Structure 1
Amino acid sequence: MNREEEAEIYRDRMGKPGFSLVFDPSEFGRIRAKIRHIEETATTEQVEAALLSVESGHALSEEQFYVLASKVADPLLEEMAVLARNITLQRFGRTILLYSPLYLSNVCYSKCTYCGFGFGNDIRRRTLTPEEIVADAEVIHAQGIRHILLLTGEAYRETPVQYIGDAAEALRSKFSSIGIEVYPLKEKDYAYLRERGVDGLTVYQETYDPERYKEVHLKGMKALMNWRLDCADRGGRAGMRRLAIGALLGLSDPTAEVISLGLHGRYLLKNYWQSQLSLSLPRLRPAAGVTDVPHIADRQYVRYWLALRLFLPDAGFALSSRESAAFRDHMMQICITQVSGGARTEPGGYSGLEATEQFSRDDTRSVAEMARAIEAIGKEPVFTDWAPLLK
């Protein structure tokens, strides 16, 4: 992206608008107020009624989703887990998809207070050459992985669209699915990447709280909240087969973030039904320049996942290696359908090059160890779930 294109985005920040038309700047405040009201007035009977509705085969209403995501549902967490497990088995069977991230660059022009790659952080920066990309990918491929996710920082001059497309083109013969998690692009750029072999788009909104969004995104294109909010719309219109969204818990009110993420997911399922949807809900972790990390208890975190599963039964759920091995193993038995294996969060990490990682990982198991862990809980590790010819 050159400076002229950057200026064009600033002039027309939304392009063709999408979810931002539904989720206006005041929506997060209304969600937070509604959660407070529910937690003050809702009863266990309302939780039971919501669970009975799901058990009877009915879709959760938005009001019921609020109830189950709130702390009012805590006394019935075990009942929620049983339902979530059953729904996951019905929709996804006993399978867990394994994938690996491949970081192309940790150069970033945006300054985000929570990210180790942020502009101004004194870290080892690296952008992989085409040869280094292939070398890292060869290591991943040798481990049996066929689903790969290409990542960059917010560096549209260092890692332009053609660079990303060239990387995908070089790898498409080795991998059945290539996803991207890069800076937000125009619809035509997603269409171009689709032609080069990319079939999936991942974009984390980070926070749906507009006030907090301004506070944590201090510099760069990432400060444009609606440009990011409508990113999945542009990917869907461009024909991306997989759309993945997420919120980073620890930046704002976590329950309101989960509700916002669920509503965003429902919107995408309705408007881009031809694309598979997956959600992620990482908890903030320490990173370069990031030490003040709010605590979100495991029980609270599990409740959020369960509420999302009951609200969006057909969405895939990906659980980050930020979480412990024991926690990931437990959640894979309930509602998680996708996990990374042997993940490295620094460019060149698979082939031994030196660079700073994006965040600290808790689960450092290899692909083989993850596959054995999946089998140990009675599930099947899946390395590819569709044929490359379908691209």
Structure 2
Amino acid sequence: MSFYNEIQKYNWEEVKDQIYSKTTDDVKRALQKEKIDLHDFQALISPAGTEYLEIMAQKSMHLTQKRFGKCIQMYIPLYISNSCTNTCVYCGFNCKNEFERKILNRSDLIDEAKEIKKLGFEHILLVSGEDQKRCGSAYISEMMDTIKDDFSLISLEAQPLEVDEYEKLTHKGLHTVYIYQETYNESNYKKYHPAGKKSNFQFRLETPDRLGQAGVHKVGLGCLLGLEDWRVDSFFTALHLQYLEKTYWKSKYSISFPRLRPHTGGFQPNYETSQKDLVQLITAYRLFNHHVEISLSTRESEQFRDNMLKLGATSFSAGSKTNPGGYSNKEESLEQFSINDDRSPAEIAEMIQSKGYEVVWKDWDNFMQL
């Protein structure tokens, strides 16, 4: 049994009809509840829910502070490779883009880590293009070994692996794995992922199941906003989250909201997701799940991130570079996408503190060193 079996019970168009048929009365009923279900979540993300954003924002702020306090965790991505064997039409790492690829070695990684440590970070997210042969689990393990003494928490965003591979990495100290389905619309999935291992919808969809089976401490979910109708994709993300929490209850979970950004190749979003839409979505998730961690990356603008600080977010990236070697500035390399908020970590930390919140650079000691 996996989430792939669960999702077969649902029809994309029927779910879309359910969401778009929700009324203001459905939204009001949802807002009166202390704990909402998936039907209520549909109401909150529906067009009818747009009239109640202020109420949703207030409830989201209250619930977030009740569960997480006034704390914002800081993290930074470290791109270790832009080598990829997939042909995702929306990604700068698409293997058809004719640019020289960069795979960091130990020396490169040490240089990158030194620069990141100067910025104050204790939590690191290793990011790699999906190249199983050149950047598989053995390479990831080597990179983790190289920096494990420098950071208290190591997370990963890379190609899907098998259960035994995740188990080995977890035993080495891997804490969190982020894996985005991009879209839950199986009918259109192949259109965006025409070739490469990522074109296998089921294998990618079952990755969080393998993470749960491997005992990974935290799993990050999300869909790529702009490929399909954000309301429908977000419903399936919420369904996925609910399934995982019930099935692999020992793991923690987080939600991210990557919106399509400019990149090499120039793919244009099929569906617009405005900042107003994103406010509605984030606050709806908080009302749906009081405990899920919510991340906002530098894909979003300064003003938007500043405003969302109090409305549901629990972690911010800062000073992000989306190309291998980007922090030590040795040479130019292909970036995955362009960032939108280019403030330094110190500037973002100052903004967070100015709003009465605490900046958390470290809240987890490397258990492998204890």
Q: Distance in 1 between matches of 2:247 and 2:11?
A: 20
Does residue 312 (structure 1) correspond to residue 289 (structure 2)? The answer is yes
Deviates more, 1:285-294 or 1:340-349: 285-294
SS of 2:174 mapped into structure 1: coil
Report the CA distance shift for 1:25/1:159 in structure 2 as closer, same or farther (over 3 A). farther
Tell me the percent identity: 36
Given candidates 186, 192, 195, the residue that maps to 1:219 is 195
Name 1:77's counterpart in structure 2. 53
Q: Distance in 2 between matches of 1:234 and 1:169?
A: 23
Name 1:27's counterpart in structure 2. 11
Counterpart contact for 2:286–2:292, Cα < 8 Å: yes
Does residue 298 (structure 1) correspond to residue 275 (structure 2)? The answer is yes
Does residue 345 (structure 1) correspond to residue 329 (structure 2)? The answer is no
Q: Distance in 2 between matches of 1:245 and 1:109?
A: 22
Given candidates 46, 52, 61, the residue that maps to 2:26 is 46
Deviates more, 1:288-297 or 1:303-312: 288-297
Q: Which runs of 4+ in 1 moved over 3 A?
A: none
TM-score w.r.t. structure 1 length?
Answer: 0.91
SS of 2:222 mapped into structure 1: strand
Shift, 1:33, TM fit: 2.6
Q: Distance in 2 between matches of 1:196 and 1:350?
A: 25
SS of 1:149 mapped into structure 2: strand
Shift, 1:232, TM fit: 1.1
Given candidates 342, 348, 352, the residue that maps to 1:364 is 342
Name 1:141's counterpart in structure 2. 117
Q: Distance in 1 between matches of 2:30 and 2:45?
A: 11
Q: Distance in 1 between matches of 2:129 and 2:249?
A: 29
Shift, 1:157, TM fit: 0.8
Counterpart contact for 2:89–2:267, Cα < 8 Å: no
SS of 1:179 mapped into structure 2: strand
Amino acid at match of 1:220: G
Does residue 332 (structure 1) correspond to residue 316 (structure 2)? The answer is no
Counterpart contact for 1:25–1:210, Cα < 8 Å: no
1:97-176 alignment runs, 5 A limit: 97-176=73-152
Given candidates 221, 245, 248, the residue that maps to 2:224 is 248
Q: Distance in 2 between matches of 1:216 and 1:318?
A: 24
Does residue 258 (structure 1) correspond to residue 238 (structure 2)? The answer is no
- The number of residue pairs the alignment matches comes to 367
Shift, 1:103, TM fit: 0.6
TM-score w.r.t. structure 2 length?
Answer: 0.96
Amino acid at match of 1:33: D
Amino acid at match of 1:330: N
Counterpart contact for 2:295–2:313, Cα < 8 Å: yes
Q: Distance in 1 between matches of 2:117 and 2:245?
A: 31
Q: Distance in 1 between matches of 2:354 and 2:252?
A: 27
Amino acid at match of 2:332: E
Name 1:64's counterpart in structure 2. 40
Amino acid at match of 2:343: R
CA deviations 1:242-277 (Å, max 9, x no partner) are 110110010011100111111111111222222121
Counterpart contact for 1:169–1:197, Cα < 8 Å: no
Shift, 1:93, TM fit: 0.4
Counterpart contact for 1:123–1:288, Cα < 8 Å: no
Name 1:6's counterpart in structure 2. none
Unmatched segments (≥5 aa) in structure 1: 1-16
Counterpart contact for 2:173–2:367, Cα < 8 Å: no
Given candidates 345, 351, 368, the residue that maps to 1:373 is 351
Deviates more, 1:310-319 or 1:290-299: 290-299
Name 1:10's counterpart in structure 2. none
Does residue 287 (structure 1) correspond to residue 266 (structure 2)? The answer is no
Shift, 1:49, TM fit: 1.7
Q: Distance in 2 between matches of 1:25 and 1:65?
A: 18
Given candidates 153, 173, 178, the residue that maps to 2:154 is 178
